[in-house]
Structure formats: C-alpha cells, structure tokens
Amino acid sequence: MKFNHLKHMSIIAASLLAALGGCSQNNAGDGGNSGTGNDGVKSTGSGTSGDKRRIAAILMQEDQFFRLNELGMKDAAKKNNIELLTGSAAGALDKEINLVDTYAGRGVQAILVSPLNPKGSSPALKRAGEKGAKIITYNNVLEQPFVACGLRSDDVALGASTGKVVREYIQKKLGGKAKIAVLQYVALLADVGPLRPNGFKSEIKKLPGAQIVATQDAWLAPEAERVATDILNAHPDINVIWAANEGGTVGAVTAVKNAGKAGKVMVFGTDMSEQIAGFLLSPDNILQAVTGQKPYEMGYQAVESAVKVLDGQKIQKQQILPGVLFTRDKPEAVKAFQQQVQKLAQ
C-alpha cells in the first residue's frame, strides 16, 4: 500500500465520476500561505485570508497509492479554488492524531483522512468535527456519525478479482494443485485488513487441490521481501504467492527473483504502480497479475465531496470504487498505464 512526484493523471481522470456522496452542511473558509510549516504540513495554493476555502488531507503512508491520492486531491483543489494542506501520518497513529489536531487548530473547513485505526483515530477526528471541520474518509472506512462521507474500494472484490485469476492459473498451468503463501496487512488495519485475504480465499476454496500453507503479515516492501524469503526457505514446495497490497507484492517479487525461483514460483498481487507495471512486463515471468485501485479518482472525488458538503449539497454517504485487473497476458493495458503515468511528470 510507494516514488515519483507526478502532476496530472489522465489514465484515471478519463473515468472520473461526477458526483459522490448523503453528506451535507456548509462552513465558511479562509485562505492561507503556501509552503511547508515547522509541523511538516505542506500547503498548496497561495491565497490570502478569506479568498479560499482551506481543506486538509492526511496521507496514511508514503507509497505511490497515496501519492496518486494526493495528486487527485491537488487537481480537484485547483479546480475548486481550494487551499490544500497535506501531511503524512507515515503509518503511525500518533502522527495521524497530531496532524488532525494541527489542522483543526488551523480552522480548516474539512479534513480528508484514511484512518489508521477505527478506535484510535476516532477521538481526534471527533474533536475536529466539533470544531467545525467536515470529516471525509477515503480508502479506509470509519462508520461514525461525525463522518460526513467516505470513499473506498471494495476490498473483498479486490482480493476475489486476483483470486479468480490465481484459481484459473492453477487449473490451467499447475494441474489444479498448488501450495500458496499469503502476505497480508491484518496487523496494520485489524478491521479492514482481513477483507482482501477473505476475497482471495473465497476463490481459492473453490479449488480443492490448492492449499494455503503460509500466511504472514508484511505490507512494506523490505519487510515483505524478508518474510517471503523466510517462507520460501521454510516451504520449498510453495509455487504461488499472493500479496494483499503494493509493498507486499513488490517484496514477494523481489524475494522470488533473489531466490532464483523465477519460473518456479508465481506471484500475484494487489495495487498498481510504475514498479509493479514493470514487473508485469518483465521477461522474468514472476508477477502474473494484480488488481489495482483508482487512487487518483479517489483523491479527486474526496475533494469534490468535501466541496459539495461545504456547499450544503446532499451526496451519497459511501462511495465504492471498482478495481482494475492488470495481467501479464494483456501487456497493452499495462503499457497504457505506464504511458499515462509518465505524462504526469511532464
């Protein structure tokens, strides 16, 4: 769930949905100066006090998924004449809480957040809501009355999408039998972490000859590489690895390559990035397929939703974005992703 700082994203902008949204109410806003403060909060826009609304966005961690979230947010903020403050929680709940309190203290009109922990994140967000900030969640769900609305992918469907490809691969290429390892992030997000693995397993259960022999938490690439290496050493008969996020996918591919098991162990994963696209096009034949999300759209629509809420419009309470399947046997779609992402750096 990492990279180049990009500028626009037409690959996903082409499919932007117009409305989100049953959130409502409005709030007056003020502007601010651009730059980065001592608290690490970055500001996009240079309006003076009173001429721009101010919205804050918290990135859960520093990977490409959240960078693309941020890019979508910035484009939507520019379109709507919003001053956007951004900061990263770096996967730490205490940093997330500090950012929420900082933004609330600055009097932002809305806070966009991918909450790290439903229980741990709620008190600070509730305080911010009581100070007048509209709370918009994206990526991770937080079902609380103070949340105006939320955007997320269907995590069960993301896991099931790649799970179906894995099941079909095992049937066609491995004679219906396989030993599988799973890399997940349940320890990071106890509430939503099991959803993708559950979706994946729902497909694997349809194949009696496929057996999951190892399941470990590892969501950052270096850790996932180490964990996958240990699994391969402990279970030399494993021939399939599935990972629940970008970091796990990258780590699994790297571990298989370093172990000299290309062609013997196939990797399937979740999330899409430039690096993962490169893996899908690599002649090493390690990574077979991933189901990606729509991070740019998610970020863009989060800002759009916040604007609608501040304008007093009613929009759908929860918005679910579908995933996108990328496979090795359809390289044109992978190359199209690469080309569109590269345009963002121009």
In SS3 terms, 181-216 reads as: EEEECCCCCCCCCCHHHHHHHHHHCCCCCEEEEEEE
Can you read off the two tokens belonging to residue 260?
């000299």
133, 236: one domain: no
Quick one: 173 and 246 in the same domain?
A: yes
Q: How many domains does the chain have?
A: 2
* 4: pLDDT strictly greater than 80: no
Q: What is the mean pLDDT of residues 68-97?
A: 95
Same domain flag for 89 and 192: no
Whether 328 maps to a domain, the answer reads: no
pLDDT tens-digit map of 289-330 = 999 998 889 999 999 999 999 999 999 999 999 999 999 999
Mean pLDDT of 4-30: 35
- pLDDT exceeding 70 applies to what percent of the chain? 84
Q: Identify the residue with better confidence: 74 or 49.
A: 74
HEC per residue, 290-319:
EEECCHHHHHHHHHHHHHHHHECCCCCCEE
How deeply is 285 buried, as exposed, middle or buried, from its count of CB atoms within 10 A (0-12, 13-18, 19+)?
A: exposed
pLDDT of residue 44: 62
Q: 195-204 and 155-173 are packed helices; what angle lies between their axes, rounded to 10 degrees?
A: 30
Query: CA 304, CA 60: separation in Å to the nearest integer?
Result: 20
Residue 63 has a pLDDT of 79
Confidence (pLDDT) at 27 = 35
- Mapping DSSP to helix (H, G, I), strand (E, B) and coil, where does residue 54 land? strand
As a whole number, mean pLDDT of residues 31-45 equals 52
Q: Is residue 1 part of a domain?
A: no
Query: What DSSP character marks residue 31?
Result: -
Residues 6+ apart with CB under 8 A from 12: 68, 72, 294, 295, 296, 297, 300
Residue 10 has pLDDT above 80, yes or no: no
Distances (CA, A) of 56 to 53, 85, 109, 319: 10, 5, 8, 20
Q: What is the pLDDT of residue 251?
A: 98
Mean pLDDT for 237-241 is: 98
Write the pLDDT tens digit of every residue in 249-283. 999 999 999 999 999 999 999 999 999 999 999 99
Distance, CA of 166 to CA of 265 (rounded, Å) = 12
Write the pLDDT tens digit of every residue in 126-141: 999 999 999 999 998 8
Q: Are residues 125 and 141 in the same domain?
A: yes
341 within some domain = no
Q: Encoding tokens for residue 250?
A: 């990258």
Q: Kindly state the helix (H) or strand (E) to which residue 274 belongs, with its residue range.
A: helix 274-281
Average pLDDT over every residue of 42-62: 75
Nearest to 27 by CA among 111, 105, 170, 134: 134
Domain extent, residue 115, equals: 10-152+294-321
Average pLDDT, whole number, for the chain? 87
- Which strands make up the sheet holding 42-44, listed edge to edge? 35-36, 42-44, 82-88, 53-59, 110-113, 134-138, 147-153, 318-321
Residues 120 and 161 in one domain: no
Higher pLDDT, 154 or 51: 154
Tell me, yes or no, whether 139 lies in a domain.
Answer: yes
| Same domain? 183 vs 299 | no
When comparing pLDDT for 235 and 3, which is higher? Answer: 235
User: Which whole number is the average pLDDT over 207-214?
Assistant: 98
Whether residue 15 sits in one domain with residue 74: yes
* Same domain, residue pair 120 and 134: yes
The whole-number pLDDT of residue 237 equals 97
Is 21 or 262 the better-scoring residue by pLDDT?
262
127 domain-assigned: yes
Which has more confidence, 15 or 210? 210
Residue 336: inside a domain: no
Separation in Å, CA 17 to CA 103, 216, 320, 341:
28, 36, 11, 19
Residue 209 burial by Cβ neighbours in a 10 Å radius (0-12, 13-18, 19+):
exposed
Q: Is residue 5 part of a domain?
A: no
- Who has greater pLDDT, 63 or 310? 310
Predicted confidence (pLDDT) at residue 29 exceeds the cutoff of 80: no
Residue range 108-119: mean pLDDT, rounded: 95
Residues 102 and 148 in one domain: yes
Q: Residue 172 contacts by C-beta under 8 Å, 6 or more apart in sequence?
A: none
Residue 114's identity, in one-letter code, is S
pLDDT for 182 equals 98
Kindly tell me if the per-residue pLDDT of 286 is higher than 50: yes
CATH for 221 = 3.40.50.2300
Q: Per-residue pLDDT for 187 more than 60?
A: yes
- The whole-number pLDDT of residue 133 equals 98
346 within domain boundaries: no
Residue 48: per-residue pLDDT: 43
Distance CA 82, CA 15 (A): 22
**Residues 274 and 247 both lie in one domain:** yes
- Separation between Cα atoms, residue 81 and residue 343, nearest integer Å: 23
Residues 288 and 159 in one domain: yes
For residues 170 and 210, is the Cβ–Cβ distance under 8 A?
yes
According to the model, what pLDDT value does residue 254 have? 98
C-alpha separations of 49 from 28, 77, 79, 112, 309 in Å: 12, 16, 19, 21, 21
Q: Are residues 112 and 145 in the same domain?
A: yes
